[in-house]
Amino acid sequence: MSKEMLRALDAIEEEKGVKKELVIEALEKALVAAYKRYYGQAQNVQVAFNEKKGDFKVYQVKEVVDMVFDSQLEMSLEQAHELNPHYEVGDKIKLEQTPKDFGRIAAQTAKQVIVQTVREEERAIIYNEYSQYENDVMTGTVERMDNRFIYVNLGKIEAVMTKKDQIPTEVYHPHDRIKVFVYKVNKTTKGPQINVSRTHPDLLRRLFEAEVPEIYDGTVEIVSIAREAGDRAKVSVRSHDENVDPIGTVVGPRGSRVQAIVNELSGENMDIAAYSDDPFVYISNALNPAEVIDIFFEPDNNRVATAFVADHQLSLAIGKRGQNVRLAARLTGYKIDIKKESDMDDFLVGYDERVAAYDAKKATEELFAEETTDETVYEEVAADDVVETE
């Protein structure tokens, strides 16, 4: 077994990338358990591998003591001196106890442990390799599909793509090469599990980073993404260099940069909007292609906005099945209601009343707060003015 064991360990390290020291350590632990199983005790047993001979030895470890209470664990000083006169109380002595048939047990155990250790180490190597791609884009090949997943081969492992991660308008076939966003790499008892997506908003972010150098280097920033995968997406951008136009940079000459991403996502339409710290401007840009006439923010909740557009642009602003305004709301983080210009006068009557009521409420709250503060000060002064008398 000795030469075969050494050759096997070398082959495992070379072919599987599993260090033989790791396998030997696992084998030694497993053989201690096997010894206990076959011979009834392993409380003070050690198994050591001889790397020159390629075999295992079993040692019983005993402590040198003045008085022996357990002969399985302890040895008297007199007994120890028979082995070596230099032993002292407290020393640990290893005595070889390798059974005659232990080679057979070791061979059986080694086979099981090697298979298990190699499998676990291969899984760890794959996990470590692919975990670095979490939140990044990879190119894979469609392998197969079932009712739950599409399985995408990423090289050394199959990733899974759920229904919600598949673009509804796309049809996938075996051997198709697709770009996917790796959003989760998990360790499981069956090995690493990788979840990938074609619908994740950050797929769009990574594709733009790859296509637009100014986004990759941080000159232009993608602030927000709202996406209905396979149909339409809105992306807000801003520039950190006043000499760089964010929209023109992202769109590219004759639309070449954004068109490359549209093609990658099977024709998904892209609206690129300029970000602004001014919510009026930001919402107006997000509602493109409709032109906004005015926007009013609710006095008691400034994250709720009513935008007015020309009567003939109402359907354009809302979009098919409400898509344009829905994406604009998700992009900006505001709840947006769209109204036509001819309804503005009627709206303003109620709006002015709400503003007046809100202002009155705020004024009352501020007055109450001031009165409360004054009373507190009066009470503190009055307390200070109290003079104790006998």
What pLDDT is attached to residue 42?
58
- Return the structure tokens found at 161: 């793509």
pLDDT in tens, 73-123: 888 998 889 888 889 999 988 887 777 766 777 777 777 777 787 788 888
Which DSSP string do the residues of 188-220 spell out, in sequence order? ETTEEEEEEESS-HHHHHHHHHHH-HHHHTTSE
What pLDDT is attached to residue 376?
55
pLDDT in tens, 328-345: 999 999 999 999 999 999
pLDDT > 50? residue 390: no
What pLDDT is attached to residue 389?
41
What pLDDT is attached to residue 251?
96
pLDDT in tens, 252-265: 999 999 999 999 99
- Give the mean pLDDT of the chain: 87
What pLDDT is attached to residue 387?
46
pLDDT > 70? residue 377: no
pLDDT > 60? residue 183: yes
Domains in the chain (CATH in brackets) are 2-129 (3.30.1480.10), 139-197 (2.40.50.140), 200-261 (3.30.300.20), 276-390 (3.30.300.20)
pLDDT > 70? residue 384: no
Q: Which residue has the tokens 């070889």?
A: 96
Mean pLDDT of 54-71: 83
pLDDT > 70? residue 385: no
pLDDT > 70? residue 347: yes
Mean pLDDT of 289-294: 96
Which DSSP string do the residues of 320-375 spell out, in sequence order? GGGHHHHHHHHHHT-EEEEEEGGGHHHHHHHHHHHHHHHHHHHHHHHHHHHHHHHH
Mean pLDDT of 314-321: 96
- Which carries the bigger pLDDT value, residue 202 or residue 60? 202
- Helix locations, the chain, DSSP H: 2-16, 20-39, 77-83, 102-131, 201-211, 213-216, 246-251, 256-264, 279-286, 314-318, 323-332, 344-385
User: Are 205 and 225 within 8 A, CB to CB?
Assistant: yes
Q: Which residue has the tokens 């291969």?
A: 122
For 137, 147, 167, 177, 389, the CA distances from 140, given in Å and listed in that order, are: 10, 20, 16, 6, 91
pLDDT > 80? residue 16: no
